[in-house]
Structure 1
Amino acid sequence: MINRLFISTVMLASLSLAACTQTPNAANNLAFSNNGKFVKIVDEDEVYHDKLAYDIQAAGISPKGQVNVWAEKLVNELVLQNDALRPDQPLLISTPVMTSNFNTTNELALQLQQGLLAAFHAHEFNLVDLNVATNLRATEQGEFMLSRNWELLRADLPVSHVLVSTMTLTPEGIVFNGRVVNVTNNRVLSAVQSFVAASSLSGYLQPSEMIESRNGLLYRHENKGDSRYTVLGDKL
């Protein structure tokens, strides 16, 4: 009887230890490991809880996906690193571009841009939306106010600070670098760098095929996923 009780106690302790040391899935909600400590979205920080953790049922706040959470984390660090930009100074959020070509972007970057704007506004910064046209366009498809046609946009926006950012796709995920720049003297007021595993953005990234076409050239790989990830919807 004593031996059975001893064995049961040991097994229970072993199961408890395994549960405590089990590593959570780092792909969930952009959680990550920081110096051996697993960090979740809802950080154990009172200020974070007061400002960024919402009860959707109680407050009516809309649910957020991984891209939105990523945008919030990027902006949190940009606000932390900021050494000059005041909340009352107008700030424009530009579209993230690819590091290899500053004239190209993708669907993920366009969505992240929207999330960055919302996250900065949550910190009560003075945001300027470049895409608001000078006139409302009423068409058979609907009424449109946003545009990317420079001829329909204002050219005299009072903006001296812009968030510029770049992306790099790798075989493991995506690298992001962003900085708030004073366009009058190109001074960097704040900067952030981030890496997100592809599994955290499964709805946006897809692994490379064994044979892929890139810039008009064919590339052959030994295994699927050996090359860098691509954004879903991108033309290769």
Structure 2
Amino acid sequence: MINRLFIPTVMLASLSLVACTQTPNEANNLAFSNNGKLVKVTDKNNAKNKTLAYDIQDVGLSPKGQVNVWAEKLVNELVLQNDALRPDQPLLISTPVMASNLNTTNELALQLQQGLLAAFHAHEFNLVDLNVATSLRATEQGEFMLSRNWELLRSDLPVSHVLVSTMALTPEGIMFNGRVVNITNNRVLSAVQSFVAASSLSGYLQPSEIIESRNGLLYRHEKRGDSRYTVLGDKL
């Protein structure tokens, strides 16, 4: 009788010892039953031991070019220098213009304007987009909501603060000056100045040629790059 009980007891103790020495897989907490069959989850990536972290390369954010990074730095300083504008007050981002002629702009300025708008929104400011038309235009080329035709835009936007800015091209790069202005009294609430070397904006700026035409006049320089840079696509 003792021998008959001894074998099952030893087997039970052995099974218990094996069960205790196995490391439980926490991923099995996600196991589920499918038509009466237990389906287990294997933690191949060891996710249970990974801490929650934010990595801009892993989360899938869109890549940024130098113009966008420049816009973010400009806005960071404008926010730092701001002495009155509240985040809940509507703000409009106007197109940067040339310091020598406040009625002209270029492709770089237009792209920088978009970057400034996105950067301000990242700081949770209340942005107003002037270029949203009053109605959608469906054409053979596509459906358009943005416009630069003043007749298609709203004229009663509740805006009292505007970011205005100027740009100036030099033989070394480009100068930028911007300020947030209260248009009810022209008070400057924040201001920023910046200089970017042309090498950082190689996709937008090009050095001057030995012979160049500007405002209907021909200019001759000793070598290429002696005069100020120009924006690609500008009409000289």
- TM-score, normalised on structure 1? 0.77
Q: Give the whole-Å Cα distance in 2 for the aligned partners of 1:62 and 1:185.
A: 39
Q: Secondary structure at the match of 2:64?
A: coil
Q: Secondary structure at the match of 2:155?
A: coil
TM-superposed CA distance for 1:57, in Å, is: 3.6
Q: Give the whole-Å Cα distance in 2 for the aligned partners of 1:221 and 1:110.
A: 30
Q: Give the whole-Å Cα distance in 2 for the aligned partners of 1:111 and 1:64.
A: 12
Tell me if 1:69 matches 2:76: no
Q: Give the whole-Å Cα distance in 2 for the aligned partners of 1:137 and 1:215.
A: 37
Tell me if 1:175 matches 2:171: no
- Match of 1:109? 109
- Match of 2:95? 95
TM-superposed CA distance for 1:55, in Å, is: 2.8
Q: How many residues align?
A: 183
Superposed CA deviations along residues 43-81 of structure 1, whole A, max 9, x for unmatched, are xxxxxxxxxxx7344222111000000000000000000
In the TM superposition, structure 1's runs of 4+ consecutive aligned residues that sit over 4 Å from their partners are: none
RMSD: 0.7
Larger-gyration structure (1/2) = 2
Alignment check: 8 A CA contact 1:55 1:61 kept: no
Q: Give the whole-Å Cα distance in 1 for the aligned partners of 2:228 and 2:57.
A: 40
Q: Secondary structure at the match of 2:58?
A: helix
Alignment check: 8 A CA contact 1:172 1:229 kept: yes
Identity rate, percent:
93
Tell me if 1:216 matches 2:216: yes
TM-superposed CA distance for 1:141, in Å, is: 0.3
Alignment check: 8 A CA contact 1:172 1:198 kept: yes
TM-superposed CA distance for 1:180, in Å, is: 0.0
Alignment check: 8 A CA contact 1:131 1:146 kept: yes
Q: Secondary structure at the match of 1:58?
A: coil
Alignment check: 8 A CA contact 1:56 1:63 kept: no
Structure 2 unaligned spans of 5+: 1-53
Superposed CA deviations along residues 161-217 of structure 1, whole A, max 9, x for unmatched, are 000000000000000000000000000000000000000000000000000000000
Q: Give the whole-Å Cα distance in 2 for the aligned partners of 1:130 and 1:217.
A: 37
Equivalent runs, 1:30-49 vs 2, <5 Å: none
Equivalent runs, 1:1-150 vs 2, <5 Å: 55-150=55-150
Q: Give the whole-Å Cα distance in 2 for the aligned partners of 1:176 and 1:232.
A: 17
- Match of 1:191? 191
Q: Give the whole-Å Cα distance in 2 for the aligned partners of 1:75 and 1:61.
A: 20
Structure 1 unaligned spans of 5+: 1-53
Q: Secondary structure at the match of 2:91?
A: strand
